Amino acid sequence: MLGILSFAGFTILVAIIAYLATRKTDENSSDGYFLGGRSLTAGVIAGSLLLTNLSTEQIVGLNGQAYTEGLSVMAWETLAAIAMVVTAIFLLPRYLKGGITTVPQFLEKRYDTSTKTITSALFLTGYVVVLLPVILYSGAVAISTMFDVSTMLGVSDTAALTICVWGIGIIGSIYAVFGGLKAVAVSDSINAIGLLLGGLLIPVFGLLAIGDGSIFDGLNILVDENPNKFVSIGGPENSVPFSTIFTGMMLVQLFYWGTNQQIIQRALGAKNLKEGQKGLLLASFLKILGPLIVVLPGIIAYHLFKGELEVPDQAYPALVNAVLPEYLVGFFAAVLFGAILSSFNSVLNSSVTLFGIDIYKQHINPEATEKTVVKYGKMFGIVLAIAAMMIAPLIANAGSLFAYLQEVNGIYSIPILTIIVVGYLTKRVPAIAAKIGIISGSLLYIISQFILKPRYDEYPHFLHVMAILFVLNIIIMLVIGKFMPREKDFELEYTKQVSIEPYKYVKQVGIAICLLVVGIYIYFAQ
């Protein structure tokens, strides 16, 4: 009962603060609803970025991989810091200069409207078919298991799961559909503090359990008895071989942190470039600490349970149940609930933005007022949320989806990254090259991973395949640009939506963060 009360108390507190912080924001304008009135500050941006990224499938999935493979899986976390630095220095200034609300809007300016529409449709398809139902399902499993909802309500496990799915979905929809980006970002920031505190408590209590009350003794025992788990260099048999860090891994990180609408939308809502860059740099530094939450607990679980868990993804929930004091379970569940909500409402809010700006306004009702665009965007969001809530309970074995999702996302991530990179680095590559780049990139990746790969026992890692296709797509686009160039050079116009004066120390701080990441890899390379 104490756990449920603390869970409800913290969740209600976050809702009240989010309401008070957003009640004066004009939600009837596109900027007000989709970008929080372009008023987000560094702390809000950093907190929202971190919590949007962290959710149950990552916390449970990465710790499950760490349980099996050890520290080498930290690449998914630490390399994100470098990608955020690149975004802060090179991409964000261009985004804010152009005053865009969505990434596809840049593609419209650089190429043409149909390129933007194709890209928006790809984003929406990935969000609707893959992300939303999986986030709901994995989150519902976590909450249902933590509170033993089936026993509490006297219902079957399936019914308990469905109840949790709809509960998470409805609350997340209220934030995302009716509150807009600012409500999402403010609630994210509060939950980010709780997630960092709660997430760090798990390895702390785990180390105390190993060291009989001493964290340092626990850490020494853990490292001394499991040295093979503390090696940063993944071998060929690992899910993240070391060589992939220099190929597809960096591309995946650049796409996710620099061009993925659900993530970059937080930085697009910055009050100015300086705040946006500081927010990204702060988030990148904190991301380096990510393995303490999503990798170390998995290694601790391996030590405590002697590697005897049948399903690796059981490592994190089993560790929580084993080491966390009962009075903290409710708080931790509330924090985890916040992480689930964050990922769900962030994807939903981005989907509403893409539909309202890039589909409805562009193709359905070009004469629509901003208020009308927001209205129909909200209606689309409600339909989307209901569809996701209906699909989510049908998903089976969501715990094994983490690595699979990374692979499937390559269908749209690398083609989109390619046309954005070429769009920024060249001035004469035409729109037809972008269309061919998107279509060929998606088709070649599908053929590679889902037709050719099953036929061969030995096949390149999917991250290597991504890098190969990235280079191939760029070559195709440059060749087309050579023989069919634009009539005029592309020039990015400054819309003066916000100040684009950069943060004074952005390059120095960015270089320091990159060196810190390299240093961590070198230290744990032995």
pLDDT score at 22 = 54
Asked if pLDDT for residue 275 goes beyond 50, the answer is yes
Place of tokens 């037709």: 451
- Three-state secondary structure readout of 21-36: HHCCCCCCCHHHHHCH
pLDDT score at 177 = 59
Q: Which of 100-104, 304-308, 345-349 has the lowest mean pLDDT?
A: 345-349
Asked if pLDDT for residue 395 goes beyond 50, the answer is yes
* Residues contacting 186, CB < 8 A, separation 6+: 17, 18, 21, 22, 44
Q: What is the DSSP letter of 502?
A: P
Average pLDDT, the chain: 83
pLDDT score at 384 = 84
Candidates 202, 58, 122; CA nearest to 114 is 122
* Band of pLDDT at residue 181, cut at 50, 70 and 90: very low
pLDDT score at 354 = 77
Select the more confidently predicted residue: 311 or 428: 428
Looking at the 3D structure of the chain, how many domains does it have?
1
Select the more confidently predicted residue: 22 or 210: 210
Q: Three-state SS for 272?
A: strand
* Residues contacting 420, CB < 8 A, separation 6+: 103, 106, 107, 259
Asked if pLDDT for residue 312 goes beyond 90, the answer is no
Q: Distance between CA 403 and CA 419 in Å, rounded? A: 25
Q: Which of 34-43, 292-301, 358-367 has the lowest mean pLDDT?
A: 34-43
* Band of pLDDT at residue 191, cut at 50, 70 and 90: low
Q: Three-state SS for 289?
A: coil
Place of tokens 């684009």: 500
Q: Residue 23 maps to which CATH number?
A: 1.20.1730.10
Residue type, 240: V
CA distances from 411 to 423, 443, 462 (A): 20, 8, 11
State residue 496 phi and psi, 5-degree precision.
60, 30
Which one of 108-117, 426-435, 451-460 scores highest in mean pLDDT?
426-435
Side-chain half-sphere exposure of 367, counting CA atoms within 13 A: 0
**Widest CA span in the chain:** 72
* Residues contacting 71, CB < 8 A, separation 6+: 229, 230, 231, 232, 291, 295, 299, 524
> Residue 132: which domain range?
2-523
| Sign of torsion over alpha carbons 386, 387, 390, 393 | negative
pLDDT score at 257 = 94
Residue type, 383: V
Select the more confidently predicted residue: 501 or 311: 501
Q: DSSP string spanning 420-455?
A: HHHHHH-SS--HHHHHHHHHHHHHHHHHIIIIIGGG
* Band of pLDDT at residue 34, cut at 50, 70 and 90: very low
How large is the average pLDDT for residues 445-452? 92
Range list of H helices, 211-314: 215-225, 248-258, 261-268, 273-288, 291-294, 296-304
Q: Distance between CA 264 and CA 416 in Å, rounded? A: 14
How large is the average pLDDT for residues 403-414? 80
How large is the average pLDDT for residues 331-345? 75
